[in-house]
Structure 1
Amino acid sequence: MSSNSKPDAGFYRTVLREMFNAAIAAAQPALVLPQHLPSKPKGRTIVVGGGKASAAMARALEENWPHELSGCIVTRDGHEVACNRIEVLSASHPVPDERSVTAGKRMLELVSGLTEDDLVIALISGGGSSLLSVPAEGLTLDDKQAVTRALLRSGAAISEMNIVRKQLSAIKGGKLAEAAYPARVVTLLISDVPGDDPSAIASGPTIPDTSTPAKALEILERYGITEPVSVIRHLQAAKESSGRAPSNADNAHTIIARPQASLEAAARVAEEHGITPVILGDALEGESRDLARELAEIARRTKATGETAAPPCALISGGETTVTVRGNGRGGRNVEFLLALAVELNGLEETYAIAGDTDGVDGAEEVAGAVIAPDTLTRAQEIGIDPRAFLENNDGHTFFERLGDQVVTGPTLTNVNDFRCIIVGGSGQPL
């Protein structure tokens, strides 16, 4: 764009989409996995794992591992990638199904009976909590499904959900690594959790658990979840973990892709277009609507005074918000955030935003997210839809579908949580 011409809506929309694409590309397994492979063991190499990126991770491993290799991973429906030596299973997300249980049991079976000469490579990414689901003794899949649905509707943070999941599981919270003893376990992780806590990614099937049944009970009580009764009784009867099965001191884990790196990749795109990037953080949490209010205020102040950075600038953030479901619409945390942001900004001039999940799925919809512009509310009014009514019904996907502003990527085969960017235009000179 000429330095003497004023950027139009198409320019800003293009930049936002390029930034989102760059964030996704920076976390592709084929790019980030090869440099983190362990050395060849004396014995066998077994691959296990789960998550939305696990199939792509498995293929990257196969392509860069010239030695003997076998195993099995599980990914979300639609995220499968063909592999030659590693079996690829699929299961349900975000609520586990019978295939999730089958996959979890298959992993436990694969790592049993190994020796200290053997190596287990665990490929773990976000989404694995529901894809690897073996109920603890005395519980059923129905019990776990009911708790998962209740937590998803409650507005609980992902870290809280994972604490509960670990306490109800026979594979999460390090139990998969315990089953592999005395083999060495090397875990390669793609982080989708605020703070990159390895024990929280897919509820840490190969990472020692520091949570307790008491903490899980506290979380359920906080959100008013009292059923199934079998779950409450299980947690009440469970003693806090103190005598775990033996684990191999040589076990190791490496986070090969982080949300921060993806935000930095997006920031470089903004700079290339003459827009100053400001990374607000890679671990922003809270209710989607509350975060929208906070970021809208930052955008307004930036537009008026250049407080954060002189416009044009890009306010970039990651992390995972929550939505307390009160309506019955087609919602997701990113479209909820954007719809609330549009209402808060109320048509602020030269201000555009994108929000999307880097796995390509916002909530249960096969849509990554959406974009908003200064004319979002005006265009909604012109076609007779009320953004506030859609927000109250948690119906962000329908709203943006009607406007034609959805961002659809298809399965991206990675997952480093949500990406958000607000571009505040101004008197600067974008390239």
Structure 2
Amino acid sequence: MTPNALEQLHADATAIFDHALKACDIPSAFDRHLRFEGKTLIRQSSPLVKPVPISLEGYKRVIVISLGKAALTMLDALLDRLPPKLLYRGVCSGPEVPKKHSWRIKYFAGGHPLPNEDSFAAARETLKLLKHARKDTFVFFLISGGGSAMMELPLDERISLDDAIAFHETLVASGASITEINTVRKYFSAVKGGRLALAAPDAGKLSLLLADVPLKDLGAVASSPTLPDQSTPEECLDVLRRFHLQEKFPQSVREYFEALHLESAEHPDSPEMQRAFANAQFDVLLSNHDFVNAARDHAQALEYKVVIDNNCDDWDYRDAADYLLKRFHELRKEFPRLCLLSSGEVTVKIEGTPGCGGRNQQFALAAAFELSEHARQHLAVLSAGSDGIDGNSPAAGAIADPTTVKRARDYGFDPEATLARFDTCPLFTALGDILMTGPTGNNLRDLRVLLSAG
């Protein structure tokens, strides 16, 4: 195995990931799906579907609510395309408050993965604004992953911010899938499970989504603030039982969920919900499918045989690594120059206080142990998040190869202990194998790229 061959694999894996990010440009996605002809909005959900006109002529007020990791990018894209004379007000809860912004929008720097004071303030301001929406109001909801924490407010007003933070922290570290986590969040929050739509029942509404979940689970995007909630209290209680969550919650949250079965949750078929969604439309601007397909196209341009396998979505990171590497080695027998792509997210159950890292770096280091058994072969594994942020680290992810474990030991690291402490970022940083993009303003789930050069 030559250093140059490994360097080329690292470069190819990074190029595949970078190309996928650039191909999923949010402004371009807006142009594909939306255009204005005067004060008429033309929706084009697909080239194969007839365009849908939405006249805004009769609306006296326009409200824009943007939340999630891509909130700023989505908001700017929409505002750049709104007709100049269309007056609007709105709320944006994203990763930061931008230096350049519209005076018509109230900006908040919501917390992630845990809510903060701005998360609460953004929710209150949004509910206040929507409360005054009538039939003469049209609302744009711009929703991306991360919105579950960046806009939050407990249904029970007695639950403090500190207890809400502890609630979110327990969920994130539980090992539950994102769909299961968001099922619980929907029954906790005043802005999730369709409640933002319910806050403005008579207004016209259009929700534009960046789907960081499987398309069959669109209700999990930011815990479904504007889509009908198809989950049930029984499903929520089942997640709480299976992951032993209630005993880990603060007392105020525990007491709330203990009484949940007595609550009259809004059913999707209730008159209130039917009224709220009567004038509601939805469109997915970008999804994980767009992301992985763009990665496929570039890998093919680099002359790799490409196979896509998303079967391990929401699996534990160790199980996902074992499965994908087994599939990878089987495929290499037939296709020596191979790119195995896998999108979605893996789960990590955190015990104790974690170090600096995230699920993608955990996956990469777990894969590195298996790759070390193929010391003379040209192999590489990249795992990274499309939002540019992996867990509590500043990295998007990392790249591993058959030399990773040995090089780490040579640098004085204990890879096994590092994995157990969830402290992978310092190790990959020292090796020069960390993937740093900075926040991308996008969020289309994670991508794993397994490469073989033959």
How many Å apart are 1:384 and its aligned residue?
2.5
Which of 338, 363, 367 is the equivalent residue of 1:313?
338
Q: Percent identity?
A: 34
Whole-angstrom CA distance in 2 between matches of 1:282 and 1:33:
30
Provide the residue aligned with 2:143 in structure 1. 124
1:291-336, Cα deviation, whole Å (9 max, x unpaired):
0111111122233x22xxx121110011111101135322310000
How many Å apart are 1:283 and its aligned residue?
6.9
Map residues 2-401 of structure 1 onto 2, 5 A cutoff.
Answer: 8-37=5-34, 38=41, 39-41=54-56, 42-43=58-59, 44-66=61-83, 67-77=86-96, 80=98, 82-84=100-102, 85-140=104-159, 141-225=161-245, 226=247, 227-235=249-257, 236=259, 237-242=262-267, 243=270, 245=272, 246-281=275-310, 284-303=313-332, 305-306=333-334, 310-326=335-351, 328-348=354-374, 349-401=377-429
Which of 406, 415, 422 is the equivalent residue of 2:450?
422
Higher relative contact order (CA 8 A, sep 6+): 1
- RMSD (CA atoms): 2.0
Residues 316 and 81 of structure 1, relative CA distance in 2, 3 Å threshold: farther
Whole-angstrom CA distance in 1 between matches of 2:339 and 2:348:
25
**Aligned 8 A contact 1:357 1:418 in 2:** yes
TM-score under structure 1 length normalisation: 0.92
1:172-216, Cα deviation, whole Å (9 max, x unpaired):
111101111200110000011134522110001111112233322
How many Å apart are 1:278 and its aligned residue?
1.1
How many Å apart are 1:138 and its aligned residue?
4.1
**Aligned 8 A contact 1:122 1:186 in 2:** yes
**Aligned 8 A contact 2:119 2:152 in 1:** yes
Provide the residue aligned with 1:429 in structure 2. none
For structure 2, the residue ranges without an aligned partner over 5 or more in a row are: 35-40, 42-53
How many Å apart are 1:127 and its aligned residue?
0.2
Whole-angstrom CA distance in 2 between matches of 1:283 and 1:394:
21
Whole-angstrom CA distance in 2 between matches of 1:64 and 1:366:
32
**Aligned 8 A contact 1:77 1:92 in 2:** no
How many Å apart are 1:379 and its aligned residue?
1.2
Whole-angstrom CA distance in 1 between matches of 2:33 and 2:449:
30
What SS is found at the alignment partner of 1:270? helix
May I ask how many residue pairs the two structures share in their alignment?
Answer: 417
TM-score under structure 2 length normalisation: 0.87
1:235-262, Cα deviation, whole Å (9 max, x unpaired):
3232343446231412011111010111
Whole-angstrom CA distance in 1 between matches of 2:225 and 2:264:
20
Output the amino acid matched with 1:325.
I
Whole-angstrom CA distance in 2 between matches of 1:165 and 1:398:
32
Between stretches 343-352 and 403-412, larger displacement belongs to 343-352
Whole-angstrom CA distance in 1 between matches of 2:223 and 2:3:
48
How many Å apart are 1:161 and its aligned residue?
0.9
What SS is found at the alignment partner of 1:247? helix
**Aligned 8 A contact 1:288 1:333 in 2:** yes
Output the amino acid matched with 2:349.
T
What SS is found at the alignment partner of 1:30? helix
